[in-house]
């Protein structure tokens, strides 16, 4: 860079990346913007539908169960809080993996990637349990067994319709993230990034993983808290 | 920083790449023409696939114009051609709606999106910014193959027993959500959705690539404000696509669940008369789909229009031998249009049950688009003003674009008013408006681009005489077809009807409808002349003998006449000035690669 630097570096004058990033990272950022619009459309559709529907189930009543707990236990939002915590911790380990990549520390990358994969898989496992549990309670696409806040019978099935569609779409993103991270792990173990001289791929996978995490915060808020 | 070192490593690698390139030409037929990763070949693949669809889509319009022009005549050959879709020699209502729907879908998405920006973004971005190829040639190839897969699925929907989807290109539920609603809502709709989902993937892969290439791969000296306006337009087009198609995708996913998994996102209180069944769905809203659809649908209009605007700006300047008037204003107005594109979608929904107060905000935002549009029109006209104009076929099509954009744009001011829309919505006035301003105008932009860059694509010229016939017949035909539709629309003639002859109020238009249909057939026949010219000239056209046949300033004319994969032999040229130095300091033109002289005047 020294040769082109006079007073200030002319980032936009061509011959170099204006953001000092290679194209893959740029594409990842734009892809994430695009994906944000996908989720945004889903959540806005959910919001408008819920706003125009009389009566909606109470999340504290719907999400009150816990695995292996006795029947009839009342633990509202405890399980989903654990799920959320797991996912956020997996983001922390992902950051550590990216950081280790910056330092060309292969062992650190491997260790933290494995932890991230475990976190992602644990989240998916939790989601699978929750879905199965709700299914056994009679909830599915096109079927909503839950009473409204005020105790009346729900006329529309859109609570479960949106819940399964949007958490399913998010779960699919987590699954893709786990697969990507497994591929990254294999490539790291094979020394691909050491030969390349950089761990940029881990950074890009990290961007995706943090994005999926961030989306969960919104999904969590919309379905469990509000 | 580690990344800087990495980027420098990339740069040195590229230098080696140049050297590496010259003796690396072991291309087989498969790698050169089929699974090509060369942006120029991928552009041609997009172009020719788009042309196939343009012929099919155009033929469909000719067929349904038959029905509209001659509603009570029967033609045995139609039955021979279409089988049960034209029983007794007359197109059936189901076939009519299938033809209208497929015509709209393929013209909007396959021809004017993939065929237009797929072709020219691929072809022009690397050549005009000075890059050897796209940022990711592999993703670029995938983008084409997803488009081809989408094409094949859409084509196959024409052959299923219940016919292709027939509920209009917008695919509004409940027609699109309920298989029992119409024959076309069954398998045809499933295939339509699969095809469109593949298309969204193709568009995303392409768009990400175009954005990354424009931002990252400009050659030395090619600052953003030295780029030709084509590149600016294609850049904004790609951003529009990347941000609006995902919303359509969400809408489609919800639609798929409504179709197949018993959900009620778009459905509520429906009684199906055909099968005498009341549906259990409650709480959904068909208007929700319309919002999601038009959040793509309106930017889509500009995805179609902006590439044409960019190419027209370039072609007008080259062939007027004058700098484009108001270069920065052109960029600013492109930017303004790109922003406004996302804020006006509900003007397609003024009468669907939208809150009228919300409608008035959308009226204001819609009419604001007139400002950047007018800036562009005046800049094109002032570019032509006192220019030393060369009336090549490309130039004629570019001027034709400006003419159509003005005529069609003015009626947009009518339709943008929610009060006028009460009368004008869903009439032939709307058909006239959007066909002129978006359909035909962008088609003209595409023709202008093909005629102008054909020598760069194939190393040969198109035949000019055929080009002139093609232009004048198409321009006259376009106005003769769509101008009268304004009168029909003002008289209240609704669109999408199968037969107008049974309404007393529209009997007066029988002759006019026949006239429009006749012109449509003639114009379609003239396009066959263009097709002949195109394919004949690939092999037999006059050879290009000079590197820069138009005396243009931009970088694509510094490549060899038949550039190989990698575009430039040796180093990529460095850029020293903007793309529009025509007639400066008494010089006819100055290439972008010429350094600024010591005594040169200071403008740019």
pLDDT at B405: 97
Q: Which residues in chain A touch residue B250, judged by CB atoms under 8 angstroms apart?
A: 38-39, 41-42, 45
Residue A100 with chain B: CB contacts under 8 Å:
none
Nearest residue of A to residue B10 by CA position? A22
Best B10, B263, B291 residue to mutate vs chain A (most A CBs within 10 Å)? B263
Q: Minimal CA–CA distance to A2: which of B307, B17, B5?
A: B5
Which sign does the torsion angle of CA B45, B304, B217, B455 carry?
positive
Q: What is the mean pLDDT of the segment spanning B382-387? A: 96
Does the pLDDT of residue A5 top 70, yes or no?
A: no
pLDDT band, very low/low/confident/very high, at A9 (cuts 50, 70, 90): confident
pLDDT at A60 over 80: yes
With b for 16 or more beta-carbon neighbours within 10 A and e for fewer, the A115-154 pattern comes to bbbebbbbbbebbebbbeebeeeebbbbebebebeeeeeb
Q: Which residues of B touch A158 (CB under 8 A)?
A: 263-265, 283-284
Q: Chain B: nearest CA to A73, how far in angstroms?
A: 30
Mind telling me how many Å the CA of B175 is from chain A's nearest CA? 19
At residue B284 the predicted structure's pLDDT band, cuts being 50, 70 and 90, is very high
Q: Is a pLDDT exceeding 60 seen at residue B44? A: yes
Q: Which residue of A has its CA nearest to B216?
A: A17
Tell me the pLDDT band of B11, cut-offs 50, 70 and 90: very low
B3·A20 Cβ contact <8 A: yes
Q: How far apart are CA B64 and CA B91, in angstroms?
A: 8
What digits encode the pLDDT tens for the residues B319-345? 999 999 999 999 999 999 999 999 999
Residue B7 in tokens: 């980027």
Given an 8 Å threshold on Cβ–Cβ distance, is A142 in contact with B247? no
Structure tokens at B506: 């529209």
Please provide the average confidence, as pLDDT, over all residues in chain A: 93
Residues 6+ apart with CB under 8 A from A6: none
The answer to whether A156 contacts B219, with C-beta atoms less than 8 Å apart, is no
Strand partners, B494: B427
Beta bridge partners of B528: none
Give the per-residue pLDDT at B4: 43
Dihedrals phi, psi of A147, to nearest 5 degrees: -80, 155
Mean pLDDT, range B293-310, rounded to an integer: 97
Q: Nearest Cβ partner of B257 from A21, A40, A165?
A: A165
Instruction: Give A197's contacts in chain B (Cβ within 8 Å).
Output: 6, 9
Look at residue B6 and tell me whether its pLDDT is greater than 50: no
Nearest to B250 among A31, A42, A52 (CB): A42
Q: How far is B218 from chain A (nearest CA, A)?
A: 5
Of the candidates B208, B249, B261, which has its C-beta nearest A38's C-beta?
A: B249
Mutation site for A-interface testing, chosen from B246, B256, B575 by largest number of A Cβ within 10 Å: B246
Of B127, B17, B236, B135, nearest to A26 (Cα)? B135
pLDDT tens readout for residues B513-553? 999 999 999 999 999 999 999 999 999 999 999 999 999 99
Across all residues in chain B, what is the average pLDDT?
A: 93
Nearest chain B residue to A29 by CA distance is B208
Chain A residues within 8 A of B10 when measuring between CB atoms: 22
Given a cut of 90, is residue B599 above it in pLDDT? Answer: no
Instruction: Give me the domains of chain A, ranges plus CATH numbers.
Output: 22-225 (1.20.120.80)
Is-contact B318 B128, C-beta < 8 A? no
């Amino acid at each position: 860079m020294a040769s082109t630097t006079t007073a200030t570096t002319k980032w936009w004058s061509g011959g170099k990346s204006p953001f000092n990033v290679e194209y893959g990272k740029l594409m990842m950022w734009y892809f994430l913007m695009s994906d944000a619009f996908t989720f945004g459309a889903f959540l806005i559709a959910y919001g408008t539908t819920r706003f125009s529907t009389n009566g909606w189930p109470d999340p504290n009543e719907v999400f009150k169960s816990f695995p292996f707990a006795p029947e009839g236990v009342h633990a509202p939002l405890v399980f989903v809080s654990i799920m959320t915590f797991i996912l956020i911790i997996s983001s922390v380990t992902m950051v550590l993996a990216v950081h280790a990549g910056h330092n060309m520390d292969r062992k650190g990358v491997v260790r933290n990637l494995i932890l991230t994969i475990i976190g992602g898989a644990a989240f998916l496992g939790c989601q699978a349990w929750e879905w199965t549990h709700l299914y056994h309670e009679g909830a599915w696409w096109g079927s909503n067994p839950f009473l409204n806040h005020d105790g009346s019978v729900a006329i529309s099935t859109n609570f479960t319709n949106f819940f399964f569609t949007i958490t399913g779409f998010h779960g699919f993103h987590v699954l893709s993230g786990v697969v990507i991270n497994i591929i990254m792990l294999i490539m790291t173990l094979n020394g691909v990034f050491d030969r390349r001289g950089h761990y940029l791929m881990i950074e890009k996978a990290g961007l995706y993983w943090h994005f999926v995490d961030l989306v969960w915060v919104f999904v969590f808020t919309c379905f469990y808290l509000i | 920083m580690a990344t800087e070192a990495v980027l420098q490593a990339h740069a040195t690698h590229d230098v080696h790449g140049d050297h590496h390139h010259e003796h690396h030409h072991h291309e087989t037929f498969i790698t050169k023409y089929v699974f090509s990763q060369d942006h120029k070949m991928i552009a041609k693949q997009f172009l020719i696939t788009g042309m196939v669809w343009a012929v099919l889509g155009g033929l469909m319009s000719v067929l349904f114009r038959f029905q509209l022009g001659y509603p009570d005549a029967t033609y045995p050959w139609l039955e021979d051609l279409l089988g049960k879709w034209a029983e007794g020699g007359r197109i059936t209502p189901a076939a009519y709606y299938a033809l209208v729907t497929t015509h709209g879908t393929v013209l909007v998405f396959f021809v004017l999106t993939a065929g237009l920006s797929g072709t020219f973004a691929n072809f022009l971005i690397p050549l005009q910014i000075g890059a050897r190829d796209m940022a990711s040639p592999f993703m670029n190839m995938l983008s084409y193959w997803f488009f081809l897969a989408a094409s094949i699925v859409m084509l196959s929907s024409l052959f299923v027993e219940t016919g292709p989807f027939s509920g209009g290109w917008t695919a509004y539920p409940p027609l699109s959500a309920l298989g029992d609603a119409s024959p076309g809502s069954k398998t045809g709709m499933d295939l339509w959705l699969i095809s469109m989902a593949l298309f969204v993937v193709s568009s995303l892969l392409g768009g990400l690539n175009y954005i990354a290439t424009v931002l990252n791969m400009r050659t030395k000296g090619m600052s953003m404000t030295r780029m030709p306006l084509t590149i600016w337009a294609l850049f904004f087009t790609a951003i529009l696509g990347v941000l609006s198609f995902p919303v359509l995708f969400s809408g489609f996913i919800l639609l798929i669940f409504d179709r197949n998994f018993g959900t009620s996102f778009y459905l509520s209180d429906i009684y199906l008369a055909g099968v005498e069944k009341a549906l259990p769905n409650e709480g959904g809203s068909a208007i929700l789909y319309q919002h999601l659809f038009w959040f793509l649908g309106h930017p889509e209009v500009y995805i179609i229009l902006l590439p044409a605007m960019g190419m027209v700006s370039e072609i007008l300047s080259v062939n007027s031998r004058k700098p484009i008037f108001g270069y920065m204003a052109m960029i600013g107005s492109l930017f303004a249009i790109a922003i406004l594109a996302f804020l006006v979608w509900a003007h397609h929904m003024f009468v669907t049950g939208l809150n009228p107060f919300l409608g008035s905000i959308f009226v204001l935002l819609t009419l604001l688009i007139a400002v950047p549009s007018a800036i562009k029109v005046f800049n094109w006209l002032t570019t032509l003003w006192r220019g030393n104009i060369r009336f090549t076929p490309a130039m004629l099509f570019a001027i034709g674009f400006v003419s159509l954009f003005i005529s069609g744009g003015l009626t947009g001011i009518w339709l943008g008013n929610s009060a006028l829309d009460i009368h004008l919505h869903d009439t032939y006035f709307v058909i006239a408006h959007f066909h002129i301003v978006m359909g035909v105008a962008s088609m003209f932009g595409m023709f202008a681009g093909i005629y102008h860059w054909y020598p760069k694509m194939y190393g040969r010229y198109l035949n000019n005489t055929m080009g002139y016939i093609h232009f004048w017949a198409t321009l006259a035909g376009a106005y003769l077809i769509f101008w009268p539709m304004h009168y029909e629309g003002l008289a209240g003639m609704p669109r999408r009807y199968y037969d107008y002859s049974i309404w007393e109020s529209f009997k007066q238009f029988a002759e006019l409808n026949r006239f429009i249909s006749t012109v449509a057939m003639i114009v379609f026949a003239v396009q066959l002349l263009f097709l002949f010219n195109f394919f004949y000239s690939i092999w037999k056209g006059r050879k290009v003998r000079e590197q820069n046949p138009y005396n243009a300033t931009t970088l694509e004319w510094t490549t060899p006449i038949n550039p190989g994969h990698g575009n430039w032999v040796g180093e990529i040229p460095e850029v020293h000035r903007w793309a529009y130095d025509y007639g400066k300091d008494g010089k006819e033109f100055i290439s972008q690669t010429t350094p600024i002289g010591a005594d040169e005047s200071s403008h740019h």
